[in-house]
A and B are shown apart, each in its own frame.
Chain A
Amino acid sequence: MQPERRTYAFAVTECMAALEASRKSDTSILNSLAFRGVVYQVLLASGVILLGWYLYHNAHLNLERQGIATGFDFIGERAGFSIGESLIPFDSAQSYGRALLVGILNTLYVAAFGVVLATILGVTMGIARVSSNWLISKLASGYVEACRNVPVVLHVIFWASVIRALPPPREALNPFDGVFITNRGVIYPLPVENAIYPWMGLALLVGIAGAVLFARWAGRRRELTGRNVSTFWPGLGIILGLPLLVWLAGGAPLEWSVPALRGFNFQGGTSLTPEFVGLLVGITVYTGAFIAEIVRAGIQSVPHGQVEAARAVGLRPGLVMRLVILPQALRVIVPPTTSQYLSLTKNSSLGVLIGYPDLVNVGNTTLNQTGQALEAISIMMAVYLMISLSISIFMNFYNRLVAIRER
């Protein structure tokens, strides 16, 4: 009988009305459901606030009594330690705040790659599981069962150990010219920076936007005229062609920084570190297995009549999957996949075990250097909360896009 969403103001007016009613009739106000509801909520809210205040106050008192430093002043202090890999320049003379930022970026970096790769792997394996080809479907089942039933910690440690077992730099594997596979990671050549490259990036973005517009135009044309315009090759042409033109216009500069063994390590080129690769492969393979199951369930949730109808109008199997099954399956797939993205992001904190300098790794060092455990852990928790909420918000938005629109 309670309306689902009522504002506080509304509850108060309701409560006043109940008071009024109880005065008029002889029933006690205590018997009014609305009045009781408000009382319980006020009691609960004040209880929670009081408990929170007590915990904060008492923690503060006890820390003070033990002479333990409190507060977040340490964020501005000089860190004094180095970090193995960083997306932004970092020097030991910079602050703890900067060090934590490096950790946050490393977490986001590995999580972003992990989400993309796990999705590709999961969708592929999920489709393969429902394949009519016996071998493919059994292979996919084998992957899913083997990987989702092993704890993710072991995945991460396993892949890190595999990489550690690769040869050291002096005996590096050299599959292609300039590419080296060692236990220091995969080292590969990189074009030397040039003023034209940022413009090529811009051209790429313009190209992508152009391709999207072209696809929309093609879609409208198909709806209007019924004639199909192929979008794949022209789209690819627009996306890749524009940067290529810019590159040619810039005089086609191409100079590679090729890695070469000097001293202890390879100099030149760039590398994927073993910690990054180990962590990425570990969490990707693990989460991919779960996504595969979600995709399989989504596909099988689409009524078989849809498939038969699609075949009846003459669609090829690939098109049946792409145009009929997957769009409907997405409604089932997206919500549980969100949870997988969230757990993948949080699992990236296992990098601490193998030495990937993610947020937890840098946070632990900060904790140990400053001794401010409560503050350091609070920062880490707040960051993970924010990352997770952002993923949730985005996925909810995407879910609304693919949800059934009532017409």
Chain B
Amino acid sequence: MKFWKFVALAASVSFVHQAAPAAADDGPTLKAVKERGHVICGVNPARYGFAAADSKGKWQGLDVDFCRAVAAAVFGDAEKVKFAPLSAVQRFPALQSGEVDMLSRTTTITLTRDAALGFNFTQPTFYTGTGFMVWKDSKVTKVTELDGASICVLPGSTTEKNIAALFKAKGMKYTPVVIENPKELVGSYMARRCDVLSMDQAGLPGHKKFDSKSPDDHVILDGVFSKEPLAIAVRHGDDQWYDITKWAVNATFDAEEDGVNQANVDKMLESSDPNVQRLLGKSGDLGKKLGLDAKWAYNIIKQVGNYKDIYDRSFGEKSPFKLPRGLNALWKDGGLIYGYPIK
């Protein structure tokens, strides 16, 4: 598994001779994606709300919907995407080696990842922070009461570093239990090997609801303890593909702001609002500038939805979690979701 990722990376950097810049308009990634006929998107193997297969085996969640959005923009068909479930350790080599075209996998933007790993990040698709879940019978209500606890955490995550910094700052001790396989990790917490399960807070309600014998036995502590802006990552060196992913994300933000959603998008084609006309390709040739057709954003909204549609399905009213939007509300409503002008 890991080993093969490594072999793929080693092979790609060792044997693949430096590719000459493509002569055609399509950048190397877009060209490869079109020839292949689908986008390959690295996702989390099982994180409810972000990426998890439902009872029919269909991938659901915010992260996978952004993969679909890119597929809809490129092919006009949101289903032309294959999902590659990647562990925390596998994800970066997989993107570096070109095994996946994009990484939409609860990945926090950090300077190191952006600069030293050779990635470009879109603007955040989700804002969260490190959260803690504990057993209710431990009677813990605050993080400061966690001194001496065993904490289950994924290896190489920003969470792992956040906990170390937080506990050091508060002069508290803990024992990390670091397991790469998320199922084993959550299983260890549920078997009480750990007192605490820690990850991005938005991931915890899913494990509480679906992986425990009784969700009421667990408490997610209030407050978040770090900044975790999660975003889509693509490789350095292909600006066009970076632009496509970035503007696919923006299209969902702007559509929500302009009141265009999955249900009314066909009606909105008749709208006289110039913003909506540009977004849906009725005027201007914005799609062409990205190397896509004029209906790129229409296809995203029609087949996947605007940001609200995506959020509601994954975390909001139409999901089992009913999480309030919080930081993930539009800027107009006091959140941080702020689409760049599509013009």
Nearest CB on A from B296, distance (A): 27
Query: In the complex, are the beta carbons of B193 and A84 less than 8 A apart?
Result: no
Given A264-B138, A353-B181, decide whether A364 and B89 contact each other with a Cβ distance below 8 A: yes
Q: Report the interface size class on chain B.
A: 35 or more
Query: In the complex, are the beta carbons of B161 and A80 less than 8 A apart?
Result: yes
Query: In the complex, are the beta carbons of B161 and A81 less than 8 A apart?
Result: yes
Chain A residues with Cβ below 8 Å from B146 are 264
Told that A263-B148, A354-B184 touch, could you supply 13 new A-B pairs with CB distance under 8 A? A55-B15, A62-B12, A62-B13, A62-B16, A68-B236, A80-B165, A81-B160, A82-B164, A92-B164, A92-B168, A265-B148, A365-B178, A369-B112
- Name A residues whose Cβ lies closer than 8 Å to a Cβ of B: 55, 58-59, 61-63, 65-69, 80-85, 92-93, 164-165, 168, 183-184, 262-265, 267, 274-275, 352-355, 357, 361, 364-374, 377
Whole-angstrom distance between the alpha carbons of A357 and B88 in the complex? 16
* Candidate in A65, A68, A80, A264 with the most chain B CB atoms within 10 angstroms: A264
Chain B residues with Cβ below 8 Å from A61 are 18
Whole-angstrom distance between the alpha carbons of A65 and B5 in the complex? 20
Query: In the complex, are the beta carbons of B164 and A68 less than 8 A apart?
Result: no
- Name B residues whose Cβ lies closer than 8 Å to a Cβ of A: 2, 5-6, 9-10, 12-18, 88-89, 91-93, 96, 112-113, 115-118, 138, 146-150, 155-157, 160-161, 163-165, 167-168, 174-181, 184-185, 187-188, 191-193, 195, 235-237
Query: In the complex, are the beta carbons of A371 and B148 less than 8 A apart?
Result: no
Query: In the complex, are the beta carbons of A165 and B191 less than 8 A apart?
Result: yes
**Which residue of chain A lies nearest to B138 when distances are taken between CB atoms in the complex?**
A264
Which of A65, A83, A264, A368 has a CB less than 8 Å from the CB of B149?
A264
Chain B residues with Cβ below 8 Å from A354 are 179, 184
Chain B residues with Cβ below 8 Å from A164 are 187-188, 191, 193
**Which residue of chain A lies nearest to B190 when distances are taken between CB atoms in the complex?**
A164
**Which residue of chain A lies nearest to B191 when distances are taken between CB atoms in the complex?**
A164
Which of B6, B14, B177 has a CB less than 8 Å from the CB of A275?
B177
Whole-angstrom distance between the alpha carbons of A172 and B6 in the complex? 42
Whole-angstrom distance between the alpha carbons of A156 and B242 in the complex? 43
Query: In the complex, are the beta carbons of A84 and B118 less than 8 A apart?
Result: no
Chain A residues with Cβ below 8 Å from B192 are 168, 183
Interchain residue pairs with CB less than 8 A apart (24): A55-B15, A58-B17, A59-B14, A61-B18, A62-B13, A63-B13, A65-B237, A66-B235, A67-B118, A68-B118, A80-B161, A81-B160, A82-B167, A84-B178, A165-B191, A168-B192, A183-B193, A263-B149, A265-B148, A265-B149, A355-B184, A371-B92, A371-B112, A377-B6
Whole-angstrom distance between the alpha carbons of A274 and B2 in the complex? 24
Chain B residues with Cβ below 8 Å from A371 are 92, 96, 112-113, 116-117
Nearest CB on B from A265, distance (A): 6
**Which residue of chain B lies nearest to A92 when distances are taken between CB atoms in the complex?**
B164
Chain A residues with Cβ below 8 Å from B160 are 81-82, 365, 369
Chain A residues with Cβ below 8 Å from B16 are 62
